[in-house]
Chains A and B, each alone.
Chain A
Amino acid sequence: KAGVTQTPRYLIKTRGQQVTLSCSPISGHRSVSWYQQTPGQGLQFLFEYFSETQRNKGNFPGRFSGRQFSNSRSEMNVSTLELGDSALYLCASIPENTDTQYFGPGTRLTVL
């Protein structure tokens, strides 16, 4: 099976812009979680989607949003980018009835 894919791998934006990141989970996995990783805050949970519904949400401002499509692919959007949004954004898919997360390679976002 192909692994979790994330696109794009690298992204450079300027403050005030918005960005959309994409994640395709492993085939058959219906749960997708998103994390933000920064040197200062470590890995922080953003949100989790299951069957097109947001199941859990972390403590991030409303500028961070996401959605999941019927094919389980997920997107996350960050509007009005700030310098502090520069981070590695990781997506993970989880098969049903397990807690093991399979991570993608991440999208490195740099906000200038």
Chain B
Amino acid sequence: SQQGEEDPQALSIQEGENATMNCSYKTSINNLQWYRQNSGRGLVHLILIRSNEREKHSGRLRVTLDTSKKSSSLLITASRAADTASYFCATDAYNYGQNFVFGPGTRLSVLP
């Protein structure tokens, strides 16, 4: 399957530190997205990076994409307790009869 895989599965850091999460996928994509989910609620879109882009920024978020390695990373700088959530990467899967495939997620805990 084309499922993305996030790494690590869980991450615990102190407030103010940076958090880095990685996502790997298996086949070619048109774009990759990152979403955040707070405690069993709906997902919130964070950022989309297209296959012809290498890096994108949005506020304290920085996303990189390496299509040769089929991987992406999400960096959250100067983390806050409110960043505590699960983070998912999603890849488009139009060639597989679906629209998007989500990875299992990284659970981030930011301790005050």
The count of residues in chain A whose C-beta lies closer than 8 Å to any C-beta of chain B is 24
Cα(A108)–Cα(B44), bound, Å: 18
* Also in contact, A56 and B41, with CB within 8 A (given A42-B104, A99-B92, A100-B33): no
Q: Chain A contact residues: over half helix, strand or loop, or mixed?
A: strand
On chain A, the residues within 8 Å of B43 by CB distance are 43, 90, 92, 101, 103
Contact A100 B45 (CB under 8 A): yes
* Complex contact A56–B99 (CB within 8 A): yes
Which chain B residues lie closer than 8 Å to A104 at the CB level?
42
A88 touches B40 (CB 8 A): yes
A45 touches B42 (CB 8 A): no
Asked if B102 contacts A105 (CB within 8 A), the reply is no
Say how far B93's CB is from chain A's closest CB, in angstroms.
Answer: 8
A101 lies within 8 A of B100 (CB): yes
Would you call A103 and B101 a contact (CB within 8 A)? no
> Apart from A42-B103, A90-B42, what 9 extra A-B contacts exist at CB < 8 Å?
A33-B99, A33-B100, A43-B105, A48-B98, A92-B43, A99-B33, A104-B42, A105-B41, A106-B42
